[in-house]
Chain A
Amino acid sequence: MPEFAVATQNLWVTYNGLTVLEDVSLEIEAGRFVGILGPNGAGKSTLLKVILGLVRPTRGRVSVFGESPDKLRRQGEALGYLPQKPLINPHFPVSVLDVVLMGRYGRIGLGRRHRPEDVRAARRHLEMVGISHLAHRPIGEISGGEQQRVFIARALCVEPRLLILDEPMISLDACAQDDLYELVYDLKGKLRLTVLMVSHDIGGVARHVNDIVCLNRRVHVHQPPPIGRIPLESTFGCSVEYLFHGEIPHRVVKVHDE
């Protein structure tokens, strides 16, 4: 029986009476690269936050490597996370290396200083994402693609088994996107990670991932080979979108009437 990195059972999340996730049951095998697709407001980021333990489900259960997110966090096992907007204040006066070191803070412990091995770990991860030459630059003064790499290095510095990326491609040009996909794919192999990536970019995701989860409040899982036309229509219900998967473009136009 395969180990599940993430398993949810009948997961519901409601904010102020608005249902964001509806009866989501999902099992993600360890070691896979999983893309989560869905239109705006489909609950993609919410699903990630439930897995991270940032949002509590209204109903249902979630387990990460067999434990609840809370218990996992208390045991000191953090997950690697790249938030959608990782640099809130672009003038924040810290260097690239400082930012990557933040990934070690939970591990170092409250009120202690970082040790030389933490700095070594931070530098190793910077090297892994290919930007060790930027270590001493202020975080606000490097390009968007470089910043994404810094934040991936920080997520890896936690030494996670599960890496969660929320729309990592959104501000990158096509070349930088391809590079980043390749980087994540490499890292997944090297560090034996399970990777969960939320994206709008259907084409890119379809080319690079092992499994696709389509989310629009409810969930549909697709194992490649190709996503069929019919299951996608039922997932993307409310939206109108062109999907490119393999050779076949899909247009999804069905309207939800719930």
Chain B
Amino acid sequence: MDNQSERSASSKKTTAYRVTVSILFGLLGFVVNLLTINLYFPPYTATILIGLLFPMLITLAWGWRYGLLSALAGGCQSMWWIWGPVNGYAIFSIAPPFTLWIVWHGFFAGLRKKRKGEEWWLNAYVVEIPFRILSTINLYTLARWAISLNPPPWGWASSASSTVPIHFSNFVVIKQMVVGYVIILLTDVLLNLGFVRRYLRLKKRIDQTKTGYIISASLLLGVLFWIIDSVIGSVVFYVESSFLDLLALNIPPYVLNVRLFLILTCLIGGLVTSKLLRRQRESEEALRESEKELSQILGGTSVPTFVIDKNHTITHWNKACENLTGVSAGEMVGSRNQWTAFYSAKRPVMADPIVNGLPGEKMVRRYNGKCQESAFIDGAYEAERFFPDLGDSGKWLFFTAGPLRNYQGKVIGAIKTFQDITERKTAEQALRESEEELRLTVANLKHSNVQLEQFAYIASHDLQEPLRMMSIYVQLLARRYKGRLDPDADDFIGYAVDGATHMQTLLNDLLAFSRVGTRGKPLEQTDCETVLEQAVANLKMAIEDSHALVTHNPLPTVMADASQLIQLIQNLIDNAINFKGDEPPHIHVSAEQKEGEWVISVADDGIGIKPEFFDRIFVIFKRLHGRNTYPGTGIGLAVCKKIVERHKGRIWVESEPEKGTTFFFTIPITEIVK
């Protein structure tokens, strides 16, 4: 809002300034004209209204509105005073065109401003021509007719003559033409002067200066020729005529034509020349502009880029490229030393063969097959390479070099862009290394796992033999000598037998545990209902003894090692029977399909487990109860866990003491690939 009001206030101020100056200049013109600058060309006198310069200045500077104001304020009004008494009625056809003249030029000046002076025919010197023609026609027709009506009734013009010789009309036409052009020329020159522009508050002028001078010069040349021709004519060809006669008063018609033709030719020549100069300047400017634009584009991108021309000379080397290579544009632009920025020895960079138009296969061969055609830039190639000389410890660069073509499609240079991929490469390398490390670790782990299982197997297997000896001979000892030694000896033998027996069970369990990993069979489609049937059959005795009830929901078919699955379910049911409450146990097996896996549960109504023991129960040989209360070595659930893990499932327990326990395990659902 403030800005707007400020602007409108400043524009009001400008308008006021212009109106004032226009009126002042008009008055100034009026006064200057009243000085009556007369040129005497006997028998005629020509009054030169040099004061017209002022409204002309206003109209060319500010447009026709201010021009008209200035003209009406006085600039053009003086002629009513000066010529009115002489011309009588004719003043009505002579004076108004002067005001019109000012408006005419103001109008075209405005048009020039609007079109930024692009059209040559809007030039003040050109638009003067049609006006001058109309004005001339007017002088020969309307003005002469008006003169024939003289004298008019008003007193101050009573001396106006009613006849004029045609020579006088010629004289007036030429005078007006010359004065018109002189005024335009003067105005133009004045408008090029700095202080005038400052005073009129115009922008500094860059264009048109040359144009103006060239046209003025050609016009002056025409006028000069006119004068020289007059001199030569008066001395050589028309010795009987005076210089003034030949200059203006009595020019033979064909001489006049020749001179007018020459002036016109000069003027046209000037116009054409200025036009050509202007076009050249414009194309130079356009070139500079596009060059500047390219430089700005390259400078504005963070992609390191350089450009070479068809002679391999560097034309652009942007900031990002300076940053990447550490070599400044000042060093590189204009040289052909692009290699110095990248290599320690002289060799072409990829942009060079592009400029030479090296065929694709050769290009690929040159880079040992490590470069390839760009997928989306026509004719460009790209490659990855390590540059040991860049930066502190070398850099990996991904670079693309593509041709620059002219409008005919001819290669005129090449552009090369870089991408610093050192970080990516380093990361890739680190990833490869850590992957390798991981692979090794996994392999080692697998190996040590296998060895551990092997060890457990061999240990448990080979320990059996000496244990058997111990056990059997202690038994033999007991058999043969029981009662024959003292009672202590019998006790000791008894403990030795117990220990040996327990150790045998432990070893067997350990063997079973280690066999889960070492003796597993491949996984195949296994019906869980059959598995349950088998498990129940294996536990027939225990089930009958405890009067257990085993029920189940429909069970799925899963990918499993059938014998291990039997063992798993058997162990869980056996567990449920072992830890039953006072009542005969009820064991229920069910299955539920969850995301990507089957969750199979074995629930009982036994003594339950406290939550703090949930993890402990799956550890090998960990027991929650004394061997005397509940039998077992504590291997069952550890084997279960191992079996489930071999099937890539999970096993867990939910339980409430005195209420019962539910074991859950999962088996992944795998697609059967046939």
Q: Do A and B come from one complex?
A: no
B residues sitting closer than 8 Å to A (CB atoms) are none
A residues sitting closer than 8 Å to B (CB atoms) are none
